[in-house]
Structure 1
Amino acid sequence: MNIRNLLSYFLLIIFLSVVQVLFLKNLALFGVAFAFIYLLGILILPVSLRPVSLILIAFALGLIIDVFYETIGMHAAAATFMAFARSLWLRAISPTGGYVEAEEPSISEMGFGWFLSYSLPLIFGYSLIFFTADQWGTGGLLEILNKSFFSAIFTGLLVILVQLLFFKRRRRI
C-alpha cells in the first residue's frame, strides 16, 4: 500500500468518525436502531492488510469513539471483535480465484451482493457485542437481539448509501 492510499484511508476514517460523533451520536430510530457509520472505515480497508494491523486500527478507532460517547470501551471491544472476525469471514466467503492483493472490499470493487454478504454479518456481530456490553445485567436477550438486528440493518443501509453516493465507481468495459 503506497502513501497516497494510506493517507486516503486515514482521511476517510477520520471523516467517518467526525460524522459519527457530530451527527449520529444521538440518532436512534424508534429507540432500537442506532447508526455506526464509522464501521465503514474498518470494512473497506484492503484485503491485504495484516489482521494484527487491522485489529489495532479498529481498537484505536473504537477507543476514540468511546471517548466521545463516554461508553468506557464498549465501542473498542465491539470494533476489535469485528476486525478479528473480518479476517475469518473474508476467508470463508473468498471467491474461487481468491482476492487481488490491493483490492478493497467495497461495492464498486466486489459487487453489491458480495458486499451485503460480507458486511451485514460483521455489522450484526459488532452490534451484538456492543449491545450485550451495553445491556449487561439489565436487559433481556430479546432486547439485545432486537437492537442488534435493527442497528445492523440501519447501519448496513447507511454504509451502502454512503458508498453509492460518495465513492467513485469502477468503469466496466
Structure 2
Amino acid sequence: MAKVLLYNIIRFGALLIMQVFLFKNIGYYNLATPFPYVLFLLLLPVGIPNFILYCLAFMTGVTVDAFYDTLGVHAAACVALAWSRIVFVRITIQTDHYENYMTPLWGTVPFQWYFLYVLVLTLFHHVILFSLEAFTFHQFHYTLIRILLSCIFTVIIILLFSLLFYRKKQR
C-alpha cells in the first residue's frame, strides 16, 4: 500500500509539472490543448474512498487553476471527473475480481476497457471544462470543436504515456 501511495505522489508531481511547464505552451491555434494531468485522477486505485477522491480531484484542479489563472474551472472539471469516474467504475468493473488498491493501468485491465475509460472520462472532463470556460452558447460550434480536438489530443498523449509505462499482465 505504501508503494501505491509513493507512486501516486510521484505521478501527481510529474504530471502537474509537465502540465504547467510543457503542455501549457503546446496547442494548435487554441483549438487543441492537451490536459494530460487528468491521468493522475484516472490512475488512482479503484477502491479509493469517494471523499478522498473528491479531495484529490479538487486539489489537483485548484493547483492547475493557480498556474492557468482560471477561477476554479479546472477544479470544477476535476471534481466532475471524479464523480464520473466513480459512476463508470461502479458500472463497468466488478470489484470482487480486482483488489481495492489496483490501479487501472493498460497492463492490468483489458485494452478495450482502458481505452473506453480514458476516452469517456476525458471527454466528460473536457465538456465540463470548456463549457464553463466559454459559459455561453454564442460560439457553440467553436467550443464543440475545441472539446473534440482537445479530447483527441489528450487521449493520444495519455495512451502514449500508458504505452511508455506498460507492464505485461501478472497472472
- TM score, norm. by length of structure 2: 0.92
* In structure 2, distance between residues paired with 1:171 and 1:39: 24
1:88–1:138 distance in 2 versus 1, CA, 3 Å:
closer
1:44 corresponds to 2:46: no
SS of the counterpart of 1:88?
helix
Return the offset for 1:96: 9.2
1:136 corresponds to 2:135: yes
1:31–1:93 distance in 2 versus 1, CA, 3 Å:
same
SS of the counterpart of 1:163?
helix
**Alignment partner, residue 99 of structure 1:** 98
* In structure 1, distance between residues paired with 2:83 and 2:166: 28
1:125 corresponds to 2:143: no
**Alignment partner, residue 87 of structure 2:** 88
Instruction: Give the aligned length.
Output: 171
Q: Which amino acid aligns with 2:37?
A: Y
Return the offset for 1:164: 0.7
* In structure 1, distance between residues paired with 2:107 and 2:22: 26
* In structure 2, distance between residues paired with 1:142 and 1:153: 17
Contact preservation (8 Å) 2:4, 2:101: no
Contact preservation (8 Å) 2:74, 2:129: yes
1:25–1:92 distance in 2 versus 1, CA, 3 Å:
same
Structure 1 alignment gaps of length 5 or more = none
**Alignment partner, residue 167 of structure 2:** 169
Return the offset for 1:77: 0.5
* In structure 2, distance between residues paired with 1:162 and 1:80: 23
**Alignment partner, residue 22 of structure 2:** 23
- TM score, norm. by length of structure 1: 0.91
The superposition leaves residues 101-143 of structure 1 with CA deviations (integer Å, 9 ceiling, x where unpaired) of 2221111111221111111111011101110111113742222
* In structure 2, distance between residues paired with 1:101 and 1:15: 24
| Superposed CA RMSD | 1.8
The superposition leaves residues 6-37 of structure 1 with CA deviations (integer Å, 9 ceiling, x where unpaired) of 01101111100000000011211243111011
* In structure 1, distance between residues paired with 2:118 and 2:157: 12
Q: Which amino acid aligns with 2:168?
A: R
1:72–1:104 distance in 2 versus 1, CA, 3 Å:
same
* In structure 2, distance between residues paired with 1:110 and 1:94: 10
Could you tell me the percent identity over the aligned residues? 30
SS of the counterpart of 2:108?
helix
* In structure 1, distance between residues paired with 2:138 and 2:132: 10
Return the offset for 1:52: 1.4
- Matching of residues 5-84 of structure 1 within 5 Å: 5-84=4-83
SS of the counterpart of 2:25?
coil
